[in-house]
Amino acid sequence: MPSTLSWIDHDSNARDKTLRILSLFQEKESRDELGLGSVRDSFADQLFPGTSTIQTRLRYMLFVPWIYNGLEEKRVPVERFAIEAEKLERDLIQPLMESNDQAGVFGKTAGKSLKRLPSSVYWAGLGTWGIRVTQFSQDEYHRRIKDTYHRLNDLKSLEKAAKIRGDDFDGVGRFGVLNWHSRLPVPPDNFPQVADFALSREEAEFIRDCVRLTHGDSLLSHLLDCEPADTKAPWEHPDYSRFSKQHKELLTHARLFSDVMHGAALSYNIQLAKLRNHGVVADRADSNRRNTEVG
């Protein structure tokens, strides 16, 4: 009887973690019998919240809300909403592949047949950074889009009434209505037919402000003020001396954990190599014995 895994889809963070587990089953060489991946993720969540190793291009943090915002503005019906969103994400592959910078493009190899879309990969991070305001999981957001339309219509009526009265509409009224940050930069006029990964100054400042507002005490926020550096590990960063005491302590534990895991991998490979060499020696000995008997 095949094993199954199920969960209640009511929390976007829990859903993202479950998808990480499922992705491990699809990678034949990935193993985590001891559950050490959760330790690694704990370090990552504290130092670099909202990020993961498969999130390599920052502008996807804008591509996804731009796509969904556009669908909301067009009032795409609920039965077509998820389908249209998926189509736009897949259609985004071609213009990105036609740009000068193709590194990190989702679908670079698989094309439109890719299985995991950027929105599912960046969904948790969008919420962690406050760019995604709705607390629903991605699937729940799709199913409840009609409620969003009702709220937006009510908001528009209130704004219109305030304008007729000559009153300034209280922007606070937008909170609890919008699914995406109210200051989300406007997408380029030719998006998504034309797209690349180059951030405008406005876009970069928006993302920086979101990270600072939601996780101002994280190492990720601190690095926003540092010069770009090409390092293999955060504890090798040239600005390490300016890191806070808390960050240095976390990085010390992270470095030790990394060394242990790297050592375990080396030891495992050495044991495999020894077993393989033993097999070769045994085969040669058996071959020599047969040759001797024949002679």
Question: Which pLDDT does position 28 carry in this prediction?
Answer: 47
- Give the residue with greater pLDDT, 32 vs 234: 234
% of the chain beyond a pLDDT of 90:
60
202 and 289, same domain (yes or no)? no
Residue finishing a domain among 202, 225, 248: 225
pLDDT band per the 50, 70, 90 thresholds, residue 283: low
167 and 25, same domain (yes or no)? yes
Q: Is the dihedral of CA 199, 204, 207, 208 positive or negative?
A: positive
Question: Which pLDDT does position 274 carry in this prediction?
Answer: 85
Query: Which domain covers residue 268, as residue numbers?
Result: 230-295
203 and 249, same domain (yes or no)? no
- Tell me whether residue 7 is in a domain: no
Q: Structurally, how many domains does the chain consist of?
A: 2
Q: Which two tokens stand for residue 111?
A: 């094309």
Contact residues for 41 (Cβ-Cβ < 8 A; gap 6+): 17, 20
209 and 143, same domain (yes or no)? yes
Judged by DSSP in three states, 58 sits in coil
118 and 242, same domain (yes or no)? no
30 and 167, same domain (yes or no)? yes
Residue finishing a domain among 225, 244, 269: 225
- Tell me whether residue 6 is in a domain: no
Considering only 161-165, 167-171, 285-289, which range has the smallest mean pLDDT? 285-289
Phi first, then psi, for residue 132 (nearest 5°) are -90, 120
110 and 148, same domain (yes or no)? yes
- Tell me whether residue 5 is in a domain: no
* Residue/partner pairs of 271-275 with CB below 8 Å, 24 or more apart: none
204 and 239, same domain (yes or no)? no
Burial bucket for residue 44 (CB in 10 Å: 0-12, 13-18, 19+) = middle
Question: Which pLDDT does position 13 carry in this prediction?
Answer: 62
CA–CA gap between residue 9 and residue 78 (Å, rounded): 18
Closest CA to 43 of 215, 250, 261: 250
Residue finishing a domain among 225, 243, 271: 225
- Tell me whether residue 2 is in a domain: no
Residue 10 in this model has a pLDDT that exceeds 70: no
Mean pLDDT over 237-258 rounds to 95
- Tell me whether residue 252 is in a domain: yes
pLDDT band per the 50, 70, 90 thresholds, residue 106: very high
CB contact at 8 A, 52 and 163: no
Phi first, then psi, for residue 192 (nearest 5°) are -100, 10
Q: Which two tokens stand for residue 204?
A: 């970069």
Closest CA to 13 of 62, 52, 43: 52
Q: How many Cβ atoms from other residues are within 10 Å of residue 93's Cβ?
A: 19
List the beta bridge partners of residue 180. 132
168 and 285, same domain (yes or no)? no
Tell me the C-alpha to C-alpha distance, in Å, between residue 238 and each of 226, 250, 293: 9, 17, 67
- What's the pTM value of the predicted model, to 2 decimals? 0.78
CB contact at 8 A, 171 and 104: no
Phi first, then psi, for residue 204 (nearest 5°) are -65, -40
259 and 115, same domain (yes or no)? no
56 and 110, same domain (yes or no)? yes
Residue 294 in this model has a pLDDT that exceeds 90: no
Question: Which pLDDT does position 202 carry in this prediction?
Answer: 97
Mean pLDDT over 77-99 rounds to 96
Residue 195 in this model has a pLDDT that exceeds 70: yes
CA–CA gap between residue 184 and residue 64 (Å, rounded): 11
Judged by DSSP in three states, 132 sits in strand
- Give the residue with greater pLDDT, 228 vs 12: 228
63 and 205, same domain (yes or no)? yes
pLDDT band per the 50, 70, 90 thresholds, residue 265: confident
CA–CA gap between residue 108 and residue 94 (Å, rounded): 9
Residue 236 in this model has a pLDDT that exceeds 90: yes
